[in-house]
Structure 1
Amino acid sequence: MWVLERWLYLAVVMDLYFRRIVGWAFDSQMTDELTRRALKMALERRKIKPGLIVHSDRGVQYRS
């Protein structure tokens, strides 16, 4: 995303059952830490139950 004259990367986590964005993070670099911060926010905002599945078919940052 072009924001205030610079590029920022956005990582989002969506709850597919409710179709809501539950976690997100911005950074000037696309790193695994960016995706971890988005996932951490999502986990803190939702009531997690055993059996939770996190799926991504995106880049290496998500596989880290």
Structure 2
Amino acid sequence: MSPPRSIRWVIVGNSGSGKSTLAERLGQILHRPIYDLDRVHWQPDGRKRDEADARARVAEIAATDA
């Protein structure tokens, strides 16, 4: 039996509930990268990212080991 891939965590909650703060702290403690899906789907200027580009970014994240 092969070992499982790295565990991935998903943090879900209401706006302003501390999701990003918790994710950042866990990333520091566990020495793991943090991926913010808002940054995947939205451009810095607030415009929605092209769907194909967003999907490609999600595929890149999913292909990582952690």
TM-score, reference length from structure 1? 0.30
Which is richer in helix?
2
Which is richer in strand?
1
TM-score, reference length from structure 2? 0.30
Q: Which of 1 and 2 has higher RCO (CA within 8 Å, sep 6+)? A: 2
